Amino acid sequence: MKISDILAQNKPSISFEVFPPKQETGLDGVKQAAGAIAVLEPSFMSVTYGAAGSTSKLTIEVAKDIRDLHGVTVMPHLTCVASTREQIRDMVTKIQAEGIENIMALRGDIPKDGVIAHDYLHASDLITDIRAIAPDLCIGGACYPEGHVESEHKKDDIDFLKFKVDCGLDFLTTQMFFDNNIFYNFLYRIKDKGINVPVIPGIMPVTTAKQLSRSVQLSGTNVPERFRAIVDRFGDDPDSMRQAGIIYACEQIIDLIANGVNHIHVYSMNKPEVAKAILDNLKYILE
Ligand code: FAD
């Protein structure tokens, strides 16, 4: 099923994200975790692409496994900054040949050594190519309610986002955020720019203090005082922190649904117990 069709259904739903192993040896463990999330029947599952395409084969393999064994709609991610046009053509053709209908098109982070392939400078270049190779694929792209870390001015970021959407995106998924007001504000700003595709908020249930500091370091996401106090108070006690992090994420989701946002993507980080706890907490809201 195309994610654009799922989003067109006017009812609350949750999707989950998993990541592939760094090496083939970890594949069974990841497939098991992904399977345990898939049996919870999310509306779809996305599978990330290793930095610089290091695990590209494994992304498709995990996605196929979820779809074939559990019948869940999947969306593999694809990054382009370290790939040639030929490599991208191969990947897109492969995804299409597997009968997968969705793809998340990303630039990817610039590798630490600064080595890029130079065929693709921005995600918009990739989106244009995917549209040409596989016109029927449903294509998602990334957006950043607090601005992308490389972007000096939020206004430029939104101008580039408008260009990216116009290259052929069907929907956007946001970077994680911990303050819903930032997301609502972003929705107003992009609407003002004429960006009208659906925007899926990405919610990260933070279950350890270490996970929070790593995520913030990578994304520059603002941590509201209320959440900081939770991490300060419970960060040293794994059970309490996990419980508090899940409840905080559920509160964000409830507020989003109450404000008319129907679909939420959860960065479930290969943790079936976290995905299950979220769905259990939202059981009646999602029914
Ligand atoms: P772009 O849209 O190309 O934007 C990158 C930067 O370039 C921004 O600052 C933008 O303002 C600027 N820019 C865009 N177009 C232009 C232009 N024409 N001229 C000048 N500047 C421009 N990373 C992975 O490695 N694997 C994954 O699976 C993955 N999944 C992700 C999923 C989501 C939902 C999100 C939000 C991020 C994900 N990332 C992933 C991280 C992502 O690859 C990085 O944030 C990356 O740095 C930017 O990718 P992008 O597709 O947003 O790039």
Q: Ligand 1 within 6 A of 167 CB?
A: no
Catalytic-residue membership of 17: yes
pLDDT digits (tens, 9 = 90+) for 254-279: 999 999 999 999 999 999 999 999 99
pLDDT number for residue 56:
84
What atom in ligand 1 is closest to the CA of residue 48?
28
Distance 207 CA to ligand 1 centre (A): 25
Per-residue HEC secondary structure of the chain comes to CCHHHHHHCCCCEEEEEECCCCCHHHHHHHHHHHHHHHCCCCCCEEECCCHHHCCHHHHHHHHHHHHHHHCCCEEEEEECCCCCHHHHHHHHHHHHHCCCCEEEEECCCCCCCCCCCCCCCCHHHHHHHHHHHCCCCEEEEEECCCCCCCCCCHHHHHHHHHHHHHCCCCEEEEEECCCHHHHHHHHHHHHHCCCCCCEEEEECCCCCHHHHHHHHHHHCCCCCHHHHHHHHHHCCCHHHHHHHHHHHHHHHHHHHHHCCCCEEEECCCCCHHHHHHHHHHCHHHHC
pLDDT number for residue 51:
76
With 0.85 as the threshold, say if the pTM is over it.
Answer: yes
The domains found in the chain, sorted by start residue, are 3-286 (3.20.20.220)
Residues of the chain short of pLDDT 50, as ranges, are: none
Question: Whole-number mean pLDDT of the chain?
Answer: 95
Q: Ligand 1 within 6 A of 265 CB?
A: no
Residue 184 in tokens: 């609502």
Distance 62 CA to ligand 1 centre (A): 23
pLDDT digits (tens, 9 = 90+) for 115-152: 788 899 999 999 999 999 999 999 999 999 999 999 98
Residue 4 in tokens: 């654009």
pLDDT number for residue 154:
83
Distance 286 CA to ligand 1 centre (A): 31
